A and B are shown apart, each in its own frame.
Chain A
């Protein structure tokens, strides 16, 4: 009994340390990213200083896709092999994805305001796609919280999360197609090839956002698992 408790303690300490290490890495990468964005990378020839939001906006968008893909992967694992924690992991990944998705809408909106003078534009594919994904994954939460906890809820959440990864490419294609009859103007945001310093900054920012996701994912997961464990203990005592 004592031995197993010690074992548990050791594992737990390791896990906590892993989370702390991950958080430290995120902190360092984020600091480096911010420093590079503001002090190292040159101004964009075309858009000037305001283009620097690119180094936050695009990595956040990429991270959001990673979250949704990870959530869908865990959903598939849940339906396929039914390990105990997959449903919770899928939910947490999608939760983080929705947070990053909101940030994409926010930063994209700020960027549109600075460069085109409008808060919202239907001519940016990414923004419209994220609006659709925001609605879709908000409905995921509505679905999840209207069902009683249990295997039924886990299954339905997983199926809906899988629909998400099918929806992303189909919606992207649809938005591209819709442009031809709704808004013929095409903005090319990428412009010329990125210079070396810009590419380096972009990569550091991307790594920072991905490690931020990893940290938040593990932190939320640890909290949720603790919650579940506490509930189990309470039920066992009651």
Chain B
């Protein structure tokens, strides 16, 4: 029970910070809309709706990346991470809270992006929406851990996309498969990915922040 309370308190801190600074979510929104406009010009007229479906997933992964690279920057710059590690709570609570906050940011961005996609390109079916929800879990879970690794290095924001994209390829495969074919087995694959990688991230976060 204390674990849940810790996670809630830490997540509340992140959401409150975002609500006051309004830094991450507006830039994600602008980025995803700009990406759609770029995609419109990148797709030749005969490309068809399926190519657009693929690009939707590109937009989601890169928009998420925007939030993930920023996720731990404030903590590192202010030295907050050391204080959090000293706090009498389970270290994985830090990961869980940050994942929830990033998930909330991504969900807000997608609440705008998916209707915009439907208006700009083609309508979305429920399989795609379900796939987006499942993919968000995996992206935020793994990405938060990668974000914590990335800010520790000298290369900082440069490192996170390099570390994250190879891990995100299965998510893109599952997502594109679900929205192109509409078959439920791709949703099953996304759920499997979430289960494996969220558990690994949850279990290994402690080693990333503690020396």
Contact = CB atoms under 8 A, between A and B. Distances in A.
Interface of A: 79, 132-133, 135-136, 138-139, 142-143, 146-147, 150-152, 155-156, 158-160, 162-163, 166-167, 170-171, 173-175, 177-178, 180-181
Contacts of B200: 162-163, 166
Interface string B178-211: 0011000110010011001100100010011011
B207 A159 contact: yes
Interface of B: 142, 145, 149, 152-155, 159, 162-163, 165-167, 169-170, 173-174, 176-177, 180-181, 185-186, 189, 192-193, 196-197, 200, 204, 207-208, 210-211
B153 to A, nearest CB: 3
Given A135-B166, A166-B197, A167-B166, A143 B173 contact: no
A163 B207 contact: no
Nearest to A141: B162
A173 B189 CA distance: 9
A143 B181 CA distance: 37
Contacts of A166: 196-197, 200
Contacts of B170: 167, 170-171, 173-174
A132 B173 CA distance: 13
Given A166-B196, A177-B173, A181-B180, A155 B210 contact: yes
Contacts of A135: 165-166
Contacts of A79: 204, 207
B206 to A, nearest CB: 9
Nearest to B163: A139
B159 A146 contact: yes
